[in-house]
Amino acid sequence: MKVLSSFLLVAQLAALPASAAGRPIDGKWSGGPASCSLPFAISGRTYVAPGATPKRVVKVERSGGWWRIELADRYAFVLMNVKPATMTWHSPASGDTFDLTRCH
């Protein structure tokens, strides 16, 4: 029974709602076209690309070491190798990949 409970907990955590707070992906990030004065920003249900208007996050999926973020306009991107101070941003649509560093 304990194994089943652990499995269910892991399954629930893997499908966190977009409003989940305290995720390791949340924050401001520099790299690629972004700087800490004009960063990529993720918080709760909002994503902001450098210099762009905020977009609503509708879905966050976590699988192993990557996160898939889907926006209200159906655009999606992937965050890989997420660590406390670094991660990799990738757009399957454009093929762009950026190594990001957390802004302080």
pLDDT in tens, 33-46: 999 999 999 998 99
Quick one: pLDDT band at residue 8, thresholds 50, 70, 90?
very low
Whole-number Å distance between alpha carbons of 58 and 69 = 8
pLDDT at 64 over 60: yes
Rounded to the nearest integer, the mean pLDDT of the chain is 86
pLDDT at 26 over 70: yes
Residue 1: the pLDDT is: 52
Fill in the amino acid letter for 97.
T
Quick one: pLDDT band at residue 22, thresholds 50, 70, 90?
confident
**CATH classification of 2-102 is 2.40.128, yes or no?**
yes
CB of 42 within 8 A of CB of 88? no
Of 4 and 49, more confident: 49
